[in-house]
Amino acid sequence: MNHDSHDPRDIPILTEEAEKHEANNHLASLDLKAVHAALVTETLNLADSLLHRAAKDIEAALFERVFDQLRAQLPELVDRVLREHAAVGGTPAVASSTQAAAGGTPETNTDN
């Protein structure tokens, strides 16, 4: 494997970066506690942001899946419930539901 190639899974380690730049001596003047606190804060903020984005993506995907299943299963559900109620009450239940869906009532519908 070529040492010059960059693997995006490689995460730089702070101590390695510090050792590389140790000769520059500008790191010696840093307040290590402040740097540590800033790194922890920024890392936690980034993790929080990424988790919230991932949760929203997951939620959107789940809602889409549920609505797709509802669209697919709803026609059969409506047919089954209408058949069950028609079997219990006879054919007037189907006629009543058809008239109600058309905006009329059994008493006011006169086109026989």
| Pick from 40, 60, 59, 36: nearest CA to 48 | 40
User: Is the pTM for the entire model greater than 0.85?
Assistant: no
Q: What is the pLDDT of residues 35-54, one digit of tens each?
A: 899 999 999 999 999 999 99
Q: What is the pLDDT of residues 92-102, one digit of tens each?
A: 544 455 555 54
Q: Residue 108: pLDDT band by 50, 70, 90 thresholds?
A: very low
Q: Which residues contact 96 (CB under 8 A, 6 or more apart)?
A: 106
Q: What is the mean pLDDT of the chain?
A: 77
Secondary structure E strands in the chain: none
Contact predicate 28/21, CB 8 Å: no
Q: Residue 10: pLDDT band by 50, 70, 90 thresholds?
A: confident
Using CA atoms, how far apart are residues 47 and 11, in angstroms rounded to an integer? 15
Q: Residue 23: pLDDT band by 50, 70, 90 thresholds?
A: low
Per the model's pLDDT, the better-predicted residue between 48 and 33 turns out to be 48
Using CA atoms, how far apart are residues 84 and 68, in angstroms rounded to an integer? 25
Altogether, the residues listed in the chain come to a count of: 112
